[in-house]
Structure 1
Amino acid sequence: MAPTARPTVASPLSPHLQIYRWTWTMAMSVVHRATGCALYGGTALVAIWLLALASGPAAYGWAAWFFGSLPGKLVLFVYTWVLLHHMLGGLRHFVWDAGIGFERARRMGLARLTLVASTALTLAIWAVALIAR
């Protein structure tokens, strides 16, 4: 039995970023996924810090030195922003799950608010921490 010849039909192309206009909600969706991935690295840093704390003064001294250095503080600053941005993005999705905020202006406003509020909260937390220190 000879195989049946299939007619060649052009398959439809899936929409891609060259077709869609880049919007705030698209950007915040990508950033939300990226911050979710980055939280894995930050959680590993917290685990390393806890292991160093449990391992004794020498190990903790190294961890305290690293997190007290300029690169360590920068890592902690970025981790703070990542944590807050992902949390606010989750709250944005929670609002949408409640059926609120689907109008274009509200969608864009919530997306912008997520970025602005996460940055403002990060700066406020670090300002309070530096003042309290």
Structure 2
Amino acid sequence: MAETKRIIRPLSPHLQIYRPQLTAITSILTRITGNGLIVGTILAVWWLLAAATSPEYFAFANAVATSWFGDLVFTASLWAICYHYLAGLRHLYFDSGKGLDIPTAEKLGWACIIGSVVLTVLTIILVQ
């Protein structure tokens, strides 16, 4: 039998040259933020239920909600609301049949990302 020379090749060469598309990333981010809003909602509902339960239990829930963890969850939820809102507006624009070319879709994707951060920072500044 003839001997074959074994060539060592990468398992997934496409992963070395593939660049994720911004439209795919923003679509996935819309789903993640939609599901992530559940965490902030659960914390807020737990805080409200604790207020209706007893002063001691509310003190505990309030300590969690106002801790660094609660601040992180509520700030992330605020960003998720802003992003989800802007992405919904972008999809309404897409549904009208406009903005479907790649350059416009990428500009709208960046507008959603940057706009959500700006809206979050402005909201935090105005609420302080």
Q: TM-score, normalised by structure 2?
A: 0.79
Counterpart residue number, 2:57 = 59
* CA apart distance, 1:59: 2.0
Unaligned runs of 5+ in 1: 1-15
Aligned twin of 1:124: 122
CA contact (8 A) 2:43 2:65 kept: no
> SS state of the match for residue 39, structure 1?
helix
Residue aligning to 2:100: 102
1:34 aligns with 2:47: no
How far is the alpha carbon of 1:97 from its aligned partner?
Answer: 0.9
Return the alpha-carbon distance in structure 1 between the equivalents of residues 64 and 82 of structure 2: 23
CA separation of 1:87/1:17 partners in 2, compared to 1, >3 Å: closer, same or farther?
farther
Distance 1:102 1:111 in 2: 11
Secondary structure of the 2:58 match is helix
TM-score of the pair, normalised by structure 1: 0.77
Identity %: 35
In the TM superposition, what is the alpha-carbon distance from 1:56 to its structure 2 partner?
A: 2.9
- The separation in 2 between residues aligned to 1:123 and 1:105, in whole angstroms, is 27
Q: Which amino acid aligns with 1:118?
A: S
Q: State the aligned residue count.
A: 115
Deviation at 1:21, TM superposition (A): 3.9
